Structure 1
Amino acid sequence: MSAYVIDSALFRDQFSTAATRSIFSDEQTVQKWLDVEAALARVQARLGIIPQHAADEIQAKARVELIDLAELKQEMDRTSHPIVPLLRAMKKVCDGDTGEFIHWGATTQDIVDTGTVLQVKEALEQIESNYRRAHAHVIALAERHRDQTMAGRSHGQQALPITFGFKAAVWAAEIGRNLERLRQMKERVLVGQFSGAVGTLAALGGQGIEVQEALFKELDLACPEICWHVARDGMAELACVLAICTSTAGKIAHEVYSLQKTETAELEEPFTMGKVGSSTMPHKRNPPACEGIVAISRVVRSTVALGLEGMMAEHERDKIVLQTEREFISRLCCMADAAFAKLAYVTAGLTVRGNNMERNLSVQKGLLLSEAVMMKLGDHLGRQEAHELVYEICMDVFEQGGTFKDGLLANPTIARHLKPEDIDRMLDPQAYTGAAGLFVDRVVASHRGATT
């Protein structure tokens, strides 16, 4: 039985991926705790703190398949504690008295935090892989459609001509910055925790820092300057950065969603026979993948508040923090990965309808090029006076009908300064995309190598 979408057999693949679900499964959570305990024992044996034979036995038995998870769950409920029942279970499976040397000098939060960081590390590898796939597809779109003219829009209205390659290049540059954010974040997030009861490592005497440094070298994690039991800025940053990354995915998906509307029909997410858009309208070809990405991005953004709440920890230890993070970190990573996997799917198979883009350039009967006319006329009248004159002509076209060209040709002031052939040239959308192509070239050259 499941009560949440990530665990639902029906809905889980819409909100997560099998890879990230596996990383945060109960089995892998317990295994990561055991991995930390085993690494700690190995390090302490090398330093002469515990017997080598005890470390060898702990290493051999630190396998989740040797733990009865149903019994572990019962004991966790009975004790209201996550790690003590595990230590007792490990002691049972270890030979002789070797189980007495598990968890030497550690505290529960050391194991839980470091286990979580190990899970986050694996999840980020998966997340980044899918995001890079999407990045590569978007770069390819920008290059392929470098010169495909379409209407640029502002405030939901047609504004000036751009190219679809330019639009895709803006997406690519933003994803590239987000990949850099992910990279930079790791040095602050992928940090182990081994600090003892209140962070001073007092239980290990003079060897505490030596054990700590060796432990995180063993686990391939960064060593903290000082304990972060109640300094949760790293997990808050994880939430914020993944929210930024998924918001970019959501923005791109919503743009595809918007440009797939029937009246526009410039883009379409991948479609295969068998997909159904409606139980009652057989003709519908909806954008479900894009809708899913947008929905996930909203859920992930809402998680930022929980990440920041986790920073409000009290004194030297605060279990409320762990309870909060236990709920949102797995959800955050699972949903982010799902968003990026869906984005990679959409961008890999995106249909770009160039004919419809060109058709839509003439929807406003030439008004899309009002700036071009205004700037040319400004050479003769001054920019402000030219704006007023072109504005009046445009508004007349809106209200009375006709074309922008007809309105220009009928105006005596325009006729004194612009020839009909000049007006024809200025009303060519392909001739007024500015440096769009050069910006595409710049982005493609800058980002192509970053996708590998």
Structure 2
Amino acid sequence: MIERYTRKEMGEIWSELNKFRLWLKVELAVCRGWQKLGKIPPEVVQEIERRTFVDEKVISRIKEYERVYKHDVLAFISAIGEQIPEYSHFFHMGLTSSDVVDTALALQLRQALDLILKGVEELMELLKSLALLHKNTVMMGRTHGVHAEPITLGLKFLSWHEEMARNRERLQRARENISYGKLSGAVGTYSNLDPRVEYYALQELGLQVEPVATQVVPRDRHAEVMYAVASTASALERFATEIRHLQRTEVLELMEPFQEGQRGSSAMPHKKNPIHAERICGLARVIRANLQVALENIVLWHERDISHSSAERIILPDSTIALDYMIHLFIDILKGIKVFPDRMRKNMDISYHLYGSSKLLVLLMEKGIPRDTAYSIVQECAMRSWEDGIPFEASLMQDERVNKILSEEEIKEALDPSSFLKNVDVIYQRVLKDLDA
């Protein structure tokens, strides 16, 4: 991922330095496993642990070897072997490259998911506080982009909170499902390893043993990680899209923060554009595209090929880096979001209170009018209100079929926005158990 969208902590997780240090961590765990079986003397393992390390100079040495070998794991083994020349025959003993790469990748992905989950928790807390703050901020609910019935802004934030809760569960499940390693050799049969070495090493690393590995850990695990990441990114895109729509000049009910000194357009100095919400939408597209690649990576030839490898070097870092960035960008948007309740009320009046049509339909039905008849009456009154530009209540009172059955007071009560929101507390109590209703 480009530097523009890389936060420092996540960038460090996907750095070459962290990758090679995790490779070394896996190799040392294997050495200790062999030690438990008596294959490597304890004093030798201690010396290997004391002398081996990875820093920027070692990485440069790895790259020198790789230019010759065209194989990064062998380059890594040779560079580390220089640190322990008399013990290098114990290093990487019985392993194949994927043993190290896949096991270390599980650790790396787990680090990335832990950081993402930390951001999700922060975002959920912020959404919860906004949901409580705007519980009674009345606004128009829209379906198909058209006025439907009144809701509250708090309910919108509460919906986002719940969607993020589901994504948190997906990310947690993906973290659990990726926490598997394999140290079972060339085609997973332990031809040059003892299964106990794998068990000892993975237990030390906090990973589970892949029950049936080939030369690699099956890639459905990685695809599940990518799905959880893509699902979360898509949720953020949904939220950002809502802000973009509500920031349109014709609506202007919400606005993302616009900082002092910020400029919205090179040509039009008046512009305040929802650029950060739009950025989230764009990055979500990249992540969803990467999910497709992860699904295709599941299909490998026989016990493995490396068609997945080149793709994973891009999609796994880029997707987790992008999602981490998107989460924190959206947190910044919400921390500074502008809310315009007066504009929300004004926009509700644009459609002449037609949002009350469903209430009138039910009222007439309660008075004994057949549903189809009641529907036609209310629809005719609504269309007259649209065409003549008069309030819905006036159109209703002008209709003899309505005013014979309903009083003006009944109509006004039905069109009161609060009548649509009488059960909001029920929704809040269902979602936020600790809410003091």
TM-score normalized with structure 2 length: 0.95
The secondary structure found in structure 2 opposite 1:183 is helix
The secondary structure found in structure 2 opposite 1:256 is helix
The secondary structure found in structure 2 opposite 1:97 is helix
Name which of 308, 327, 331 aligns with 1:321: 308
The secondary structure found in structure 2 opposite 1:162 is strand
The secondary structure found in structure 2 opposite 1:274 is coil
The answer to whether structure 1 residue 102 and structure 2 residue 88 are counterparts is no
Partner of 1:3: none
The answer to whether structure 1 residue 405 and structure 2 residue 393 are counterparts is yes
The aligned runs of 1:182-201 (5 Å cut-off) are: 182-201=171-190
The answer to whether structure 1 residue 216 and structure 2 residue 202 are counterparts is yes
Whether the aligned pair in 2 keeps the contact of 1:230 and 1:315 (CA below 8 Å) is no
Over 3 Å counting, the alpha-carbon distance change for 1:67 and 1:196 in structure 2 is farther
Letter aligned with residue 270 of structure 2: H
Letter aligned with residue 197 of structure 2: V
Partner of 1:168: 157
The Cα shift of 1:230 comes to 6.0
Name which of 32, 39, 59 aligns with 2:49: 59
CA distance in 2, matches of 1:220, 1:230: 16
Partner of 2:366: 379
The answer to whether structure 1 residue 32 and structure 2 residue 22 are counterparts is yes
Whether the aligned pair in 1 keeps the contact of 2:241 and 2:277 (CA below 8 Å) is yes
Letter aligned with residue 349 of structure 2: S
The aligned runs of 1:295-310 (5 Å cut-off) are: 295-310=282-297
Deviations 1:265-284, CA, capped at 9 Å, x for gaps: 11122232112111121111
Partner of 1:69: 59
Q: How many equivalent residue pairs?
A: 434
Name which of 402, 416, 427 aligns with 2:404: 416
The secondary structure found in structure 1 opposite 2:218 is coil
Partner of 2:167: 178
Name which of 193, 216, 220 aligns with 1:233: 220
Partner of 2:103: 114
Identity between Structure 1 and Structure 2 (%): 30
The aligned runs of 1:140-151 (5 Å cut-off) are: 140-151=129-140
Gaps of 5+ in 2: none
CA distance in 2, matches of 1:446, 1:272: 35
The secondary structure found in structure 2 opposite 1:227 is coil
Letter aligned with residue 211 of structure 1: V
Name which of 326, 331, 346 aligns with 1:344: 331
Whether the aligned pair in 2 keeps the contact of 1:142 and 1:444 (CA below 8 Å) is no
Whether the aligned pair in 2 keeps the contact of 1:194 and 1:227 (CA below 8 Å) is no
Letter aligned with residue 216 of structure 1: L
The Cα shift of 1:77 comes to 3.0
Give me the CA root mean square deviation: 1.7
Name which of 244, 247, 251 aligns with 2:238: 251
Letter aligned with residue 419 of structure 2: A
CA distance in 2, matches of 1:194, 1:349: 49
The aligned runs of 1:40-59 (5 Å cut-off) are: 40-59=30-49
Q: Which range moved further: 186-195 or 132-141?
A: 186-195
Gaps of 5+ in 1: 1-5
Whether the aligned pair in 1 keeps the contact of 2:17 and 2:56 (CA below 8 Å) is no
The secondary structure found in structure 2 opposite 1:214 is helix
TM-score normalized with structure 1 length: 0.92
CA distance in 1, matches of 2:80, 2:20: 11
